[in-house]
Homo-oligomer: A and B are copies of this chain.
Amino acid sequence: MRCRSCRGPAVIEIRRHHAAFCTEHFLAMFRTQVEKAIRRFRMMGPDDRILVAVSGGKDSLALWDVLLGLGYDATGLYLGLGIGGYSDRSHDAARTFAKHRGVRLLTVDLEQEHGFDVPTAGQRGSRSTCAVCGLSKRYVFNRAALEGGFDVVATGHNLDDGAATLLGNTLRWQTQAIARQSPALPAHEGMVRKVKPLHRLSELETAAYAFLRGIDYVVEECPLVAGNTQLRQKEAMNAIEHASPGTKAQFFLGYLERGAPLFRSEDRADLRSCEGCSQPTTGRFCAFCRARAQILGERLSGGPEPSDREVAEELADEVLPVEIYDGAGR
């Protein structure tokens, strides 16, 4: 196997590109794909202050690394979810990376800041663990970015994430959710811009990038993720990819090119300020405040607690205002 660029010995084969690469040219290809994504969706400019959502896994650390390499002003934010040793090791990986690169890592602890951790949240209330976790991430990152004066929040969603989420949304024809599956969601009142610069790169490619760059990331999966909907969608997508290599990229990137324009009209929501926290929401109280109240057994002032039916509808309807993460898990 020879590198496509220099014909030297290759270290990785990318089947979908029908090509192999040596370390140097794989890293160059990776950066080029990120630059292409940034340019195409006007994700960020040289003067923007970028907040990177850092979990300690391969995707978010690869993202942070490549953004720093491209010269962007990128600060990390780690959200402590309270998932025992897994959270500790994730935090360590994020801290080690920041220390080695001499960059700033902010930390928010969900329990300290909002009174609950993810395992507790999964046991109480009517939302799944992954749903509360995703909701909390979207909320905390958006709020931290606004309060810290950042221009954009960048997340490490890769091609596999995008394709799996799109497959799930398309199988149910959730047209509003499909419409919002953009690698760049523009800023609105109370909502900072959100971008996914790795959306053209597969999970295998982000793992290879992190490995070849010597990044020490947390390899283990979140212990709470078993049976997660997105995992099942990834399995389905992988089975299809196995039968027809290239389908995953064709599906997700084809959507962005030809599908997305048809769904644009479906992305509509009337936003106002949450009566609890002032973050934007489509209802009186935002989904995070409602979830939090339910978990802590508190009443939201001025209103009755939401019924199970309301919560179910809200979950099915997914929450626009804090749409950083578009999957259930992560």
Q: What copy number does this chain have within its complex?
A: 2
Minimum CB–CB distance for A324 against chain B, Å: 25
Tell me the complex Cα distance, A263–B255, Å.
Answer: 13
> Known: A236-B239, A243-B235, A244-B232. Is A170-B170 also a contact (CB below 8 A)?
yes
CA of A172 to CA of B173, assembled, Å: 16
Residues of A239-270 whose CB lies within 8 A of B: 239-240, 243-244, 247, 250-251, 254-255, 257-259, 262-263, 265-266
* Chain B residues, Cβ within 8 Å of A259: 173, 175
Q: Does A316 contact B (CB under 8 A)?
A: no
Chain B residues with Cβ below 8 Å from A262 are 175, 262-263, 265-266
Nearest residue, chain B, Cβ from A179? B262
A262 to B, closest residue via Cβ:
B262
Are A240 and B171 in contact, with the CB atoms below 8 A? yes
List the B side residues contacting A239 at CB < 8 Å: 236, 239
A171 nearest CB neighbor, chain B only? B251
Interface residues of A (CB under 8 A from B): 170-173, 175, 232, 235-236, 239-240, 243-244, 247, 250-251, 254-255, 257-259, 262-263, 265-266
26 contacting pairs across A/B (C-beta < 8 A): A170-B170, A170-B251, A171-B247, A171-B250, A171-B251, A172-B247, A172-B251, A173-B250, A173-B251, A173-B255, A173-B257, A173-B258, A173-B259, A175-B258, A175-B259, A175-B262, A232-B243, A235-B243, A236-B239, A236-B240, A236-B243, A239-B239, A262-B262, A262-B263, A262-B265, A262-B266
How far apart are the CA atoms of A231 and B255 in the complex, in Å? Answer: 23
